[in-house]
Amino acid sequence: MLHGGSLPHLTPEETLAPILSALESVLGSARPVALHQPHFAGREWDYVKDCLDTGWVSSVGAYVTRLETALQDYTGVAHALAVVNGTAALHVCCLLAGVIAGDEVLLPTLTFVATANAVSYCGATPHLVDVSPVTLGVDAIRLAAYLEDIAELRGDTCYNRTTGHPLRALIVMHTFGHPAELDALAELCRRYRIVLIEDAAEALGSFYRDQHVGQWGLLSAVSFNGNKIVTTGGGGAVLTNDAALAQRARHLTTTAKQPHPWAFVHDQVAYNYRLPNLNAALGCAQLEQLPDFVSRKRALAQRYQHAFAAVAAGHIVNEPQDTRSNYWLNVLQLHPAYGHLRDALLETCQARGILVRPAWELMHRLPMYRDCPRMDMSTAEHLERHLVCLPSSVDTGSVDTGSEHA
């Protein structure tokens, strides 16, 4: 939550000292400490070598199917389709949601640029909205009030009465792995006939009300980038409970090629987005370890929480109520009185080999999205000035998992 009030006057060095001490108590003495690096301790070598030995390294191979099945089993979502990266997954989600040129798609200004880029690939316009100080994702209450002012239903389509363009979809991003307010946002989408898409790129292993994220959106996207909790090097997946959409996704991401023993017949403009078997093999080995990864990351989060409990200059962002976060990244939120020291903290940590980073540049400040329609961004602007992402690899600080279970 946003913390107000005042703190005793301290010099910058005095303010940073307890933060650095808390960090070092968790991280130990080894340097440098990466923000988030992959952890290979399972059967990665065996599965990748099997691809090389058999020659099945491209987008056709047993490991692709195996990865998709494992994703379905773990998340509980009926259909998973492996693709080349998380951005491609988001693009496919937008296409299958019916997003076309001239549409507007609601999405948080506090997100990685891929969320907005995927909308732009469809010729549509990102319509930027503010975020919650608790979840760091889309604020359901404020979005409801905003839509009351700017949205109108014409039949089964919601329009922005200011621009006259359809409001086709809402992309909800689970920020740093913390699930957004999915029940309230899903109800809001139903009320306004807006398609809900979950950007779960950072949230594999995160649960909302005891169900894995990805169950609320018509479509969802996950990422297996090298810095994610499970990696295939580069990769992602489209998740959906709709069988027809899953079939369309498979066709669209395989260059829309008609099945045939030898003929190359394609029935629409489509994409070469399928994940190679070599990458999928790596992902299969990683996914086998996901429960342990989540346990270790949650244990790391507890260590951060304990270390910063007595630090007056900031606090660790905790998982929202009714959720179980994978804590993809642990995040320090500076007290408002000391937000001006964020850059000094970043510089000091970098100089000491602690590779922290700020949150992303807000979408409405990027040159290509500066003129997009948007609501008041006061919460996101406050948060962006006060958030510092902390090292959060599975093996950061040699975390003891204790009794934590995924």
Task: Report how far residue 354's alpha carbon sits from residue 14's, in angstroms, rounded to the nearest whole number.
Answer: 19
Asked if the model's pLDDT at residue 10 lies above 90, the reply is no
Burial of 90 (0-12, 13-18, 19+ CB in 10 A): buried
Tokens representing residue 369 in the block? 């999205």
Sequence-distant (≥ 6) Cβ neighbours of residue 93 within 8 angstroms: 118, 171, 197, 217, 219, 220, 221, 238
- What is the model's pLDDT at position 60? 85
pLDDT at 163 exceeding the cut of 50: yes
pLDDT over 50 at 102, yes or no: yes
Q: Do domains 12-38+290-398 and 44-288 have the same CATH topology?
A: no
97-104 average pLDDT score: 98
Query: What are the two backbone dihedrals, phi and then psi, of residue 88, each rounded to the nearest 5 degrees?
Result: -60, -40
Q: Which CATH architecture has domain 44-288?
A: 3-Layer(aba) Sandwich (3.40)
Residue 363 to residues 152, 333, 395, Cα–Cα distance (Å): 25, 20, 32
pLDDT at 177: 98
State mean pLDDT over 379-394: 98
pLDDT higher than threshold 60 for residue 4: no
Residue-wise pLDDT tens digits, 329-350? 999 999 999 899 999 999 999 9
pLDDT at site 35 = 97
Strands 207-208 and 323-324: antiparallel
- Average pLDDT of the residues in 142-170: 98
Dihedral sign for Cα atoms in the order 363, 367, 369, 370: positive
pLDDT tier at 7 (50, 70, 90 boundaries)? low
Each residue's pLDDT tens digit, 27-70 = 999 999 999 999 999 999 999 999 999 999 988 889 999 999 99
**Rounded Cα distance, 162 and 174, in Å:** 28
- Give the end-to-end CA distance of the chain in Å, rounded to a whole number: 25
How far from chain centre, in Å, is Cα 111? 8
- Mean of per-residue pLDDT scores for the chain: 94
Q: Which of 59-63, 198-202, 302-306 bottoms out in mean pLDDT, i.e. has the lowest?
A: 59-63
Would you tell me which CATH number, out of the four given (3.40.50.1820, 3.90.1150.10, 3.90.550.10, 3.40.720.10), belongs to the domain 12-38+290-398?
A: 3.90.1150.10
CA angle at residue 172 from 169 to 178, to 5 degrees?
170
Q: What is the pLDDT at residue 399? A: 45
**pLDDT band for position 404 (cuts 50, 70, 90):** very low
- 144 by Cβ neighbours in 10 Å (0-12 / 13-18 / 19+) ranks as middle
- Strand, coil or helix: 219: strand
pLDDT higher than 90, residue 2 = no
Looking at residue 59, what is its pLDDT?
Answer: 81
Taking the C-alpha atoms of residue 2 and residue 336, their distance in angstroms, rounded to an integer, is: 8
Domain boundaries in the chain?
12-38+290-398, 44-288
Q: Is residue 84's pLDDT more than 80?
A: yes
117 Cβ partners below 8 Å, 6+ apart?
A: 87
Residue 225 DSSP one-character state = B
Q: What percent of the chain has pLDDT over 90?
A: 91
CA–CA separation, 123 vs 121, rounded Å?
5
